[in-house]
Amino acid sequence: MTYHYSVGAQTYQFADLKTVLAKATPARSGDYLAGVAAETYAERMAARVCLAEIPLTTFLEDLIIPYETDEVTRLIVDTHDKQAFAEISHLTVGDFRDWLLSDIADSATLKRVAHGITPEMAAAVSKLMRNQDLILVAKKCHVTTAFRNTIGLPGHISVRLQPNHPTDDMRGIAASMLDGLLYGAGDAVIGINPATDSIPALMDLYCLVDEVINQYEIPTQSCILTHVTNQIQLIERGAPVDLVFQSIAGTEKTNKSFGIDIALLKEAQSAALSLNRGTVGCNVMYFETGQGSALSANANFGVDQQTCEARAYAVARHLSPLLTNTVVGFIGPEYLYDGKQIIRAGLEDHFCGKLLGVPLGCDVCYTNHAEADQDDMDTLMTLLATAGLTFIMGIPGADDIMLNYQTTSFHDVLYLRKVLGLKAAPEFEAWLKKMQIMDANGQVKPIEQAHHMLQNMPKHLLSA
C-alpha cells in the first residue's frame, strides 16, 4: 500500500509502511547512511502527517520485514496479545499519541496493554512525540524485575558497576569494584566486559566477582559480558553464573551476525535458571542493544534504525530479562552524529522499551570520534532519570579504559539521586546502610580509613 500527502502543489509519495516510518524519523546519520532518511524537512513532516493517520491495526497486517524470512517478525506476530490490544485497537498512530499522554493511560492501564503493543507501533508513535512526551509516558510505565534485589520500582534508579580492565587484571578489576561499592554503586549488576574470550580466564572473572559478593554479602548479581555460547560452556563447567548476557538486535539476520538466534537465548536462559541462584526473583537475562546494529550487520532491510531497535525489545521481552541496556552513543557518529542525535535516541529507546514492558536502562555514552561531550551526557542522564530510567552505568571517573569510550560515573549516579530524590534498589540500599556507606538520610557518606571494607579487602587487593 502506498501513502501520500500534498502540501500545496507538491505531493509526497511513500511506497510502503517502512518508508513512511523511516522518512518520519527525526534526522540521524545512520538513516542517511542507510539511504532511508527523508531528503527534506518538508518530506519528513509529510511522512509524519501520513503516519499519524495510519491505524494501529495496519502494523499487524502490513509487516515491515516478512514473516516467512525473519524469526523476530514471527515472534512479534505469534506472541501478540489480541486481548491486551483490544483496548487500543481502534486508534490511529496519532490518536495513540494522544491516548498515551492522556490521564486514561495510567500506570495500570499501560501495563495491561503492553503485550498488545508491537515494537513497530511503539516506534511509530515515538516518531510523533517530542522529547517531553517520551519522558512523560515512559515515567508512567513501571517495569519491575528481580534476582537478588528488586529493580525498577518507581522513585528508584540502579547502577551497573562496570569495573573493566584492559587486560582483565584481577587486582585492577577488584580495585574498581571496591571503588564503586564504596560510592554506593552496583545494585543493578556488577558486570564486566572481558578483554579476552578465553574460557579459563572467564572462569577466573566469575569466581572473582562471586567471592566479593559473598565476602560482603551484597544483595546484587554478577555478569560477565562474553558471548552467550561461552556462558553456556562456563555454566556446564560449574561457573557461578548469575545473569547471562547477550547483545541482541531486531532482525534475525543481525542476530545471526552476533552468532545467536532466539532458540540459543532460550537455551541460555534455561541453563542460568537451572542454577537457581536468584533469591528474590528469577529474571536471569541481561541484554544490550543499540540503534544502528542492524545496518552495521547489513541486515536492516530498508527499515530505519530506531524501528529496528524497538524490534530488539520484542526479543528481550520474550526472555524476561532483569535488565536491558541501550548502549546509545557507543556505535559512533555514522549512526548518531552528535549530542542532539544521541539524546533523542536515548529518550526514544527508553520510551519504546518501557512501553513494551522491558526494564530499560541506558549506557549514556559517546566515543571520541562523535561530536559530543560531558555536557551532552549530563543532559541525557538528567532527562532519562526524570523519565524513570531503570539503571545507568557506573564506571570510575566515567572513563572505560577497556572499551575506550566515555560513559557515566559513580559520581553521576549520586548527582541524579541527589537532584531527583531517587533511591537504590531497596535490598541494596539496606546493605549500604548496614555497611555504613550510606547514612540514615540516604546520603552516601565519605569513607574513613577504618571502614570495614578497607580493613577487610577482597583477597586480590591484600598486597596493596
How far is residue 208's CA from residue 170's CA, in Å, rounded to a whole number?
Answer: 7
How far is residue 310's CA from residue 326's CA, in Å, rounded to a whole number?
Answer: 10
Q: In this chain, which of 41, 78, 369, 441 binds another protein, going by CB under 8 A?
A: 369
Residue numbers 175-194 binding another protein by CB under 8 A: 175-176, 178-179, 182
φ, ψ dihedrals at 54, nearest 5°: -80, 125
CB of residue 44 to another protein, shortest distance in Å:
19
- Cell numbers representing residue 145 in the block: 524485575
At 125, is the secondary structure helix, strand, or coil?
helix
What's the half-sphere exposure (Cβ side, CA atoms, 13 Å) at 460?
20
At 438, is the secondary structure helix, strand, or coil?
strand
Q: 78 or 369, CB closer to another protein?
A: 369
CB of residue 353 to another protein, shortest distance in Å:
24
How far is residue 266's CA from residue 289's CA, in Å, rounded to a whole number?
Answer: 17
Residue numbers 1-30 binding another protein by CB under 8 A: 29
Residue numbers 194-213 binding another protein by CB under 8 A: 195-201
Residue numbers 430-449 binding another protein by CB under 8 A: 443-444, 446-449
Q: 98 or 371, CB closer to another protein?
A: 371
- Cell numbers representing residue 376 in the block: 551532552
Q: Which of 413, 417, 376 is nearest to 396 (CA)?
A: 413
Q: In this chain, which of 16, 27, 33, 58 binds another protein, going by CB under 8 A?
A: 33
Q: Does 399 bind another protein (CB under 8 A)?
A: yes
Binding mask 315-344 for another protein (x = CB under 8 A): -----------------xxx--x-------
Q: Which DSSP symbol is given to 398?
A: G
- The residue range among 90-98, 120-128, 173-181, 265-273 that interacts with another protein, by the rule CB under 8 A, is 173-181
CB of residue 115 to another protein, shortest distance in Å:
31
CB of residue 211 to another protein, shortest distance in Å:
16
CB of residue 175 to another protein, shortest distance in Å:
4
Residue numbers 210-249 binding another protein by CB under 8 A: 227, 229-230, 233
Q: 141 or 182, CB closer to another protein?
A: 182
User: How many C-beta neighbours within 10 Å does residue 78 have?
Assistant: 9
Relative orientation angle of helices 17-24 and 305-318, to the nearest 10 degrees:
110
Q: Give CA angle at 141 (137, 146), nearest 5°.
A: 155
Q: In this chain, which of 10, 374, 420, 439 binds another protein, going by CB under 8 A?
A: 374
